[in-house]
Amino acid sequence: MFLRKTILTIAMLMAVPATPAVAADQWTPPSNLVRPLDEVWRHVESTYPNLYGFRNYGWDQIMANRGYINYCVRWDSSQPVSPALRDRVHAALSRQFKKWMDVQLENGQGYNNWPYREVPVKVVGWAVRDRNTLQWTDNSVDIYVNDIRENAPQCSEGCGRFFNQNGQYPRCPGGVARHYDMSLWLTAGMGGGFGGDWGQRIGSEYYVNSLDNDNIHILLHEIGHSFGLDDFYDWTPTGVCCFLMKAGSAAHITEFDKWMFRDFWRHLKNRWGL
Ligand SMILES: [Zn+2]
């Protein structure tokens, strides 16, 4: 009798584990966005067959860091930078990056097991052609002079996630703490922009003139690319006209952008057992 009861108890414990092996999916888009979101995801899967093998999205970078992101500024300009401008460049970047991170929250909590309520942005380095362009003497950031790649100054490759995707930085003088995940590449005379796992590239004049704007929309769009979101030059999902990732149709993160962003996380989150 006692023995039999014990066996039953063990069987029940085994049948109902305390922690499910795969967490439940939280997925509640507005009904009018279900179809276009489905179209977008199928388009992403067919356009990027290596999607599930690629390990350097912004998602991977934040998860590897356990909740922060580090930047290097590539100052591809001869215009001088005062300490005040340096700090405004950082502050504006933080505000724009936060707009995407806030998309991952619902009532102040991570949506669909997103683990971070805040993702601090640190600028750990500035790259420049000529040291005299940067008008500060303190050592608040690492400074890299005349390390040229793609005809533009860059921070040390030993410190860059793009060049060290295993997350180890043995060739970075400051180690992991001074590594950078993305570059904010600011190019004089440039219109438009580019974005990818390596960071974002936009015009230096555009950025400096937009520092106080609520939405620096080209930067926002390019950050979207760093998290895997696609362009929409040649097609439009059913029933949605205007959104940030459809260049020129919106200048802020819309409800549709928000759900595309969440959908990317939904499809990658099992990398981390979430
Ligand atoms: Zn784009």
pLDDT tens, 236-254?
999 999 999 999 999 999 9
Please report, to the nearest 10 degrees, the dihedral formed by the alpha carbons of residues 216, 62, 117, 217 taken in order: 10
Distance 205 CA to ligand 1 centre (A): 19
> Mean pLDDT, to the nearest integer, of 160-176?
95
Q: Which CATH fold would you assign to the domain 37-268?
A: Collagenase (Catalytic Domain) (3.40.390)
Distance 47 CA to ligand 1 centre (A): 15
Distance 22 CA to ligand 1 centre (A): 33
What average pLDDT is seen over the chain? 93
> Mean pLDDT, to the nearest integer, of 158-170?
96
Rounded Cα–Cα distance for residues 112 and 2 (Å): 43
Using left for φ > 0, alpha for ψ between -120 and 50, and beta otherwise, residue 167 falls in left
Q: How far is CA 121 from the centre of its chain?
A: 10
Distance 114 CA to ligand 1 centre (A): 25
Rounded Cα–Cα distance for residues 137 and 191 (Å): 31
Distance 211 CA to ligand 1 centre (A): 20
Distance 102 CA to ligand 1 centre (A): 21
Distance 182 CA to ligand 1 centre (A): 17
> Mean pLDDT, to the nearest integer, of 61-84?
98
For the chain, percent of residues with pLDDT exceeding 70: 92
Distance 45 CA to ligand 1 centre (A): 18
Distance 76 CA to ligand 1 centre (A): 20
Higher pLDDT, 255 or 11: 255
Residue 13: pLDDT above 70? no
The domain ranges of the chain are 37-268
Residue 5: pLDDT above 70? no
Question: Mapping DSSP to helix (H, G, I), strand (E, B) and coil, where does residue 220 land?
Answer: helix
Residue 18: pLDDT above 60? no
Q: Of 154, 125, 119, 153, whose CA–CA distance to 139 is shortest?
A: 125
> Mean pLDDT, to the nearest integer, of 193-208?
98
Q: Please, which pLDDT band fits residue 7 given cuts at 50, 70 and 90? A: very low
Residue 156: pLDDT above 60? yes
Distance 138 CA to ligand 1 centre (A): 36
Instruction: Name the percent of the chain in helix, strand, coil, to the closest 5.
Output: 40, 15, 45
Distance 146 CA to ligand 1 centre (A): 29
Express each pLDDT in 24-66 by its tens digit. 899 999 999 999 999 999 999 999 999 999 999 999 999 999 9
Residue 6: pLDDT above 70? no
Distance 132 CA to ligand 1 centre (A): 34
Question: Mapping DSSP to helix (H, G, I), strand (E, B) and coil, where does residue 106 land?
Answer: strand
Distance 196 CA to ligand 1 centre (A): 9
Provide the 10 A C-beta neighbour count for residue 212: 10
Distance 62 CA to ligand 1 centre (A): 21
Distance 183 CA to ligand 1 centre (A): 17
Q: Of 236, 234, 231, 212, whose CA–CA distance to 221 is shortest?
A: 231
> Mean pLDDT, to the nearest integer, of 223-237?
98
pLDDT of residue 12: 46
pLDDT of residue 24: 80
Residue 196: pLDDT above 90? yes
Q: Of 274, 268, 272, whose CA–CA distance to 54 is shortest?
A: 268
Distance 250 CA to ligand 1 centre (A): 12
The H-or-E segment that residue 73 falls in is: strand 69-76
pLDDT of residue 15: 52
CB 124 within 8 A of CB 178: yes
Specify the pairing of strand 199-203 against strand 193-196.
Answer: antiparallel
Distance 192 CA to ligand 1 centre (A): 9
Please report, to the nearest 10 degrees, the dihedral formed by the alpha carbons of residues 93, 99, 103, 106 taken in order: 120
Distance 17 CA to ligand 1 centre (A): 44
